[in-house]
Structure 1
Amino acid sequence: MDTARCWELVEAARERAGPGWPDLDHRLENALVERLVRLPVPELIAFEVRFAELQRRLDRPDVYLAAYLIGNGCGDDPFTDFRAGLVGLGRDWYDRVLTDPDQLADHPAVHAIAAGAIPRDTLMTEAFQFAPLEAYERLTGDDEGFWTALDAASPPPSSPGTEPSGPVHCNLDRLAALFPDSRASLDRHYPHLTGT
């Protein structure tokens, strides 16, 4: 399965989940599982490889800071959930975030979070990221085999030395303006990333 096909499945799930933000995580999960159970098991595993790669590409300091600002703090697990949530927003928003995470300041869910209309963890979609595992369990009645098949299908880890060298400064001024409480905390805890 190539990345384009992976995105087709994600976009179909996003459309099926429907508009609105309440219960987004479970609506995305259910819609994606509904599609994945129609695939042969090898294709399901291939989907997970691509799906995980999309999330890995977002594992960057600037995306972490966006998650921190929106969530008013962010640990490792919530950051993983946040990256899955960004994939769940669809390819257009995913590409925008890859280009510049500060573009999230234009997203309607982020505005709703800033206004206190929806919870700060709305974009942290834990269940959605485990939809391939849920689909595998439904198809096979087994969860352990998923991890074995995934290990066999996954490419070897990237070679070391691919991270940027030197200090990293991430300027997310528009997001910071929406979440001043988070920005104050961020400046205290991560001054090397915010440039303060």
Structure 2
Amino acid sequence: MDTARCWQIIEAARADAGPGWAGLDDRLEEALVTRLVELSLEELIGFEMRFAELQRGLDRPDVFLAAFLIGGGCEDDTFTDFRAGMVGLGHDWYHRVLSDPDQLADHPAVHAVAAGTIARDTLMTEGFQFAPMEAYERLTGDDEGFWAALDRAEEAAGIRHAEPAGTVPARLDRLAALFPDSRRLLDRHYPHLTSY
């Protein structure tokens, strides 16, 4: 499966999930699982390879800073969930974040988080990222075979996972202005990641 087809499925699942931020993770997960169980197992594994590749593309210090600012802190698992959430925002927003995470300051959900009208973890979609595994289990009845099937497919495709980008200073001034409490935490705990 190519990246364009992967995005088609994600965008269709986003449309199926409907508008609004309440229960976003659960709605995205179920909508994506519903789409994925219509695929063959080979296509499903191909989707996961592209889906994971999109998430790895955001494994950068500046995106971590965005997750930290919006979430009021960020650990490894939370950052994984946030990267999945950025994919869940769709093709347009994914590429905006990829080019400059500070553009999230324009996103309505981020404004709602800053205003305190939705939870800080709304854009951290743990269930959504595991939708391919859930679809595999529904198709096969096997709750353990997904990762082995993925490993075999990646090995056959010659996929090697590169190390994430190194630590570099970043400025996310617009997000920092929306989340001054998080900015103070960053200054205290991660001064090597910022140039403030």
Q: Is 1:37–2:40 an aligned residue pair?
A: no
Task: Find the counterpart in structure 2 of residue 131 from structure 1.
Answer: 131
Aligned Cα root-mean-square deviation (Å): 1.2
Distance (whole Å) between structure 1 residues aligned to residue 147 and residue 161 of structure 2:
19
Task: Find the counterpart in structure 1 of residue 190 from structure 2.
Answer: 190
Cα deviation for residue 193 of structure 1 reads 1.3
Task: Find the counterpart in structure 1 of residue 97 from structure 2.
Answer: 97
Query: Quick check: 2:67–2:82 contact (8 Å CA) kept in 1?
Result: yes
Q: How does 1:64-75 map to 2 (within 5 A)?
A: 64-75=64-75
Structure 1: gaps of 5 or more residues: none
Amino acid at match of 2:66: A
Task: Find the counterpart in structure 1 of residue 16 from structure 2.
Answer: 16
Task: Find the counterpart in structure 2 of residue 77 from structure 1.
Answer: 77
Distance (whole Å) between structure 1 residues aligned to residue 32 and residue 165 of structure 2:
32
Task: Find the counterpart in structure 2 of residue 25 from structure 1.
Answer: 25
Structure 2: gaps of 5 or more residues: none
Distance (whole Å) between structure 1 residues aligned to residue 28 and residue 148 of structure 2:
25
Deviations 1:120-151 (A, max 9, x none): 00000000000001100000000211111100
Structure 1 length normalisation: TM-score? 0.95
Q: Percent identity?
A: 74
Cα deviation for residue 159 of structure 1 reads 5.3
Distance (whole Å) between structure 2 residues aligned to residue 158 and residue 139 of structure 1:
27
